[in-house]
Amino acid sequence: MALKKGNKENFLDYVPKHNDLYPYEKKENGRIEVRVHNRGLFFRLTQILLKKPKYSYIELDEFGSFVWEQIDGTRDVYEIGKQVKRQFGEKAEPLYERLSQYIKILRRNSFIVYMNKK
């Protein structure tokens, strides 16, 4: 997960990596679109009964797309934050609070996993 300093983990040391279960592509508008396979009994029933699609497509905003492209399995959250600051400047503030929340949302939805820092 993350490096431990004493007994505390530092979230900025986490190294996120894309989860291979969620393919993505960069659209012509420069934004990232993530494909989500709607699985499970509930989704299967809605696909049959209500003709719901097998896949959902989630288009990330400008900030989210940039962060997504920085996630490569080698950069930690701190390094990604430096890239965001360079790209967006003051528009990214409060930088690490906002970035941390976004990374946690990606993780909670299984779009990313955390790697051990080398």
pLDDT tens for the chain, residues 1 to 118: 444 445 567 888 999 999 999 999 999 999 999 999 877 776 667 767 777 788 889 999 999 999 999 999 999 999 999 999 999 999 999 999 999 999 999 999 999 999 876 5
- In this prediction, residue 22 carries a pLDDT of 94
Has this prediction a pTM greater than 0.95? Answer: no
Distance CA 75, CA 86 (A): 15
Query: Under 8 Å CB-to-CB from 21, ≥6 apart: which residues?
Result: 37, 110
- Number of structural domains the chain divides into: 1
**Residue 22 structural domain:** 4-30+60-115
Contact 50, 56 (CB under 8 A): no
The pLDDT of residue 78: 96
Q: Would residue 102 count as lying in a domain?
A: yes
In angstroms and rounded to an integer, the radius of gyration of the C-alpha atoms of the chain is 16
Amino acid at residue number 86: R
User: Is 9 among the domain residues?
Assistant: yes
Q: Is residue 55 part of a domain?
A: no
| Domain presence at residue 37 | no
Residue pair 32/65 in contact (Cβ under 8 Å)? The answer is yes
Tell me if 39 is assigned to some domain: no
**Does the residue 49 lie in any domain?**
no
Predicted local confidence at residue 8, as pLDDT: 65
In a domain, 13, yes or no: yes
